[in-house]
Amino acid sequence: MYLQSVRSGLHQAIETIPWSYLPTLVAPDILGNPVTRNDWFGHYAEWASYIGVFPLMFAFAPVALDLRNKYVRFYGVLGLLAILTAYQTPIGALLVAAKIPVLSTSALSRTIILFSFAASVLAGIGFEGVQLAWDKKQKRRIVALVLVFGAFFALLWLSISSGNILFLRAPSAEKLLVARRNLLLPSGLFILSSLYMLSGFVVGRRWRNLLTIAAVGVVVLDMLRFSGKWMPFDPPNYVYPEIPVMSYLSKQSGNWRVFGNLGNEALGTFGVYGVEGYDPLFITRYGKFVTASSNGVIGTPARSTVLFDKQGAYTKRLMDIMGVRYFFHSKGDGRNIWAFPFWKYPDSSGSPVYSDDHYEIYENIHALPRAYIAESYIVAVSDDDLIGRLLDPSMDLRNTVILEEDPNLTKHAGASTHASAEENQASIERYSPNEVTIITNAKQEAILFLSDAYYPGWNAYVNGQRTKIYRADYAFRAVVVPEGRSTVRFVYENWFL
């Protein structure tokens, strides 16, 4: 899947974390929080690495206590490498230059999750290690750990008092106030953690157990607080509202596709098929197909987003090919440039088939069926030739499929027994993510076209016999079907190519 995607060929480190973001390891909201709308620097969701003040201090405890432990060494090295990779260091440039899959084609900042994981494991080891240090009277090491963290917090408070947060200058007194307020709770947690670590040397075992239970409780409350701000949850009816227009599409669209200013994130939720969306690993071939909507020329696909040019010269043509039967239009979009201009195609859209106070649905009567039989085919000599023929308005795509290799049909274009589209029938009986079943009735050996993306993981069976899947109309699927009635099954079976 990765090799089939656009992302696999884009070797560039698009994002690393600046070192001025380091204070968020102990105070995640010191630079504000996007949920409360007072953040002013950083990428909160991508750069977050906070595991709690208590756990972070425990994570450093095993380093000070027992470097001979193989787990301490392993996770210590992993955490250090994650920091050096996620933050702005020469390592990022080396990874990109080496073209290491995944690491060199995504945001390097995301490797910070490995630091959070490694630090969490070390925190578990250190939590036990501190209690062993109490029994062994290893007070000096714990005091040193507390002093190091204390110095870091003192540095943060000193920098805030001078109008900075370490190496980052606050843009206003208001932002500085946010930083000061959001450092109070982490500072309090540091004091509690320090008292816990040091008190174990002076109290008895019973009090140690009670303090340990209290420490775990503090960590739980702190992480619940942080996770609630990092990824807040909303009531389901806010995220998936029941609105009449989507209810209409859910009931009416069937296997047809929908196009408009709503991505597959919304359509998929309501069981409606679309043609756009966000996907870091979308298929390169489909991405190139999408670029041709602008001017008929194959271009470079976007990095992560599949979007058709709403004003493209060939967008309507591609919508027809993919079986886009319905155009979704928000009345608030009016006739602006970001809306698909369905009004330019009155011969295919006409009056709305649905309308309410906010939305309209137009039916594209020229949309080709999602699956159909064509007796004629053309073999293109190149991608440019294929796209050129595909977008040629004189090309009857309902009766002609453009392939990249010859299936050697017994009868094809020009045959005297050439049947009409109405005489050949194809009906989708089952449509699921991993299987599509189509019943066909062909007057002669012909091509069955399915406007689903061509992808090497699929197998096809005609009447139970395995058959070849051809890439058709640049990015879709086709198989040869015999004369008469047949059952065609497309099944995704190759999970490990």
Q: Of 366, 382, 422, 416, give the one whose Cα is nearest residue 399.
A: 422
- Give the Cα separation of 50 and 65 in Å (integer): 23
Q: Of 28, 23, 76, give the one whose Cα is nearest residue 52.
A: 28
The answer to whether residue 392 scores a pLDDT higher than 70 is yes
Do 160 and 286 belong to one domain?
A: no
Do 93 and 212 belong to one domain?
A: yes
Percent of the chain scored above 70 by pLDDT? 97
Do 188 and 335 belong to one domain?
A: no
Residue 102 is predicted with a pLDDT of: 82
Residue 413 is predicted with a pLDDT of: 46
What lies within 8 Å, CB to CB, of 379 at 6+ separation is 402, 403, 404, 405, 406
The answer to whether residue 415 scores a pLDDT higher than 50 is no
The answer to whether residue 416 scores a pLDDT higher than 50 is no
Do 259 and 198 belong to one domain?
A: no
**What is the distance between the terminal CA atoms of the chain, rounded to a whole angstrom?**
9
Q: Which two tokens stand for residue 227?
A: 């996770």
Residue 331: which pLDDT band, with cuts at 50, 70 and 90?
A: very high
Q: Which residue has the tokens 């960590």?
A: 219
Residue 82 is predicted with a pLDDT of: 94
20-34, 205-219, 223-237: least confident range: 223-237
Do 211 and 276 belong to one domain?
A: no
Mean pLDDT in the chain? 91
User: Which amino acid is located at 490 in the chain?
Assistant: F
Do 116 and 222 belong to one domain?
A: yes
Burial annotation 306-342 (CB, 10 A radius, 16+ → b, else e):
bebbbebebbbbbbbbbbbbbbbbeeeeeeeeebbbb
Do 35 and 138 belong to one domain?
A: yes
Q: Say if 285 falls within a structural domain.
A: yes
Final residue of a structural domain among 195, 230, 265: 230
- Give the Cα separation of 114 and 48 in Å (integer): 11
Final residue of a structural domain among 230, 256, 279: 230
What lies within 8 Å, CB to CB, of 427 at 6+ separation is 371, 438, 439, 440
Q: Say if 44 falls within a structural domain.
A: yes
Do 344 and 423 belong to one domain?
A: no
Cα 452 from chain centre: 20
Residue 15 is predicted with a pLDDT of: 85
The answer to whether residue 420 scores a pLDDT higher than 70 is no
Q: Say if 497 falls within a structural domain.
A: no
The answer to whether residue 419 scores a pLDDT higher than 60 is no
The answer to whether residue 162 scores a pLDDT higher than 70 is yes
Domain membership of residue 442 as a residue range: 380-492
Q: Which of 200-214, 314-328, 399-413, 422-436 has the highest mean pLDDT?
A: 314-328
Do 187 and 296 belong to one domain?
A: no
187/416: higher pLDDT:
187
Per-residue pLDDT, averaged over 379-406, amounts to 95
Per-residue pLDDT, averaged over 274-280, amounts to 90
What lies within 8 Å, CB to CB, of 497 at 6+ separation is 456, 457
- Give the Cα separation of 17 and 110 in Å (integer): 9
Q: Which residue has the tokens 């088939």?
A: 353
The answer to whether residue 412 scores a pLDDT higher than 70 is no
The answer to whether residue 187 scores a pLDDT higher than 60 is yes
Q: Say if 374 falls within a structural domain.
A: no
Largest Cα span, the chain: 101
Q: Say if 327 falls within a structural domain.
A: yes
Final residue of a structural domain among 230, 251, 269: 230
Q: Say if 369 falls within a structural domain.
A: no
Do 401 and 483 belong to one domain?
A: yes
Which residues, in sequence order, are bridge partners of residue 458? 492
Q: Say if 372 falls within a structural domain.
A: no
Percent of the chain scored above 90 by pLDDT? 69
Query: 494, exposed or middle or buried, with CB in 10 Å at 0-12, 13-18, 19+?
Result: exposed
Total count of domains within the chain? 3
64-68, 178-182, 218-222: least confident range: 64-68
How many Cα atoms are found within 13 Å in the side-chain-facing hemisphere of 274?
Answer: 25
Q: Which two tokens stand for residue 49?
A: 């690495």
Cβ(472)–Cβ(449) below 8 Å: yes
Do 246 and 221 belong to one domain?
A: no
Q: What is the CATH number of the domain that holds 483?
A: 2.60.40
> What is the tens place of the pLDDT at every residue in 99-156?
888 888 888 899 999 999 999 999 999 999 898 889 888 888 899 999 999 999 999 9
Do 177 and 272 belong to one domain?
A: no
Residue 147 is predicted with a pLDDT of: 95
Per-residue pLDDT, averaged over 303-321, amounts to 94
Q: Which residue has the tokens 């090799």?
A: 3
Q: Say if 431 falls within a structural domain.
A: yes
Concatenate the DSSP letters of all residues of 45-96 into one string. Answer: HHH-----HHHHHHHHHHHHH-TT-HHHHHHHHHHHHHHHHHBSSHHHHHHH
154/409: higher pLDDT:
154
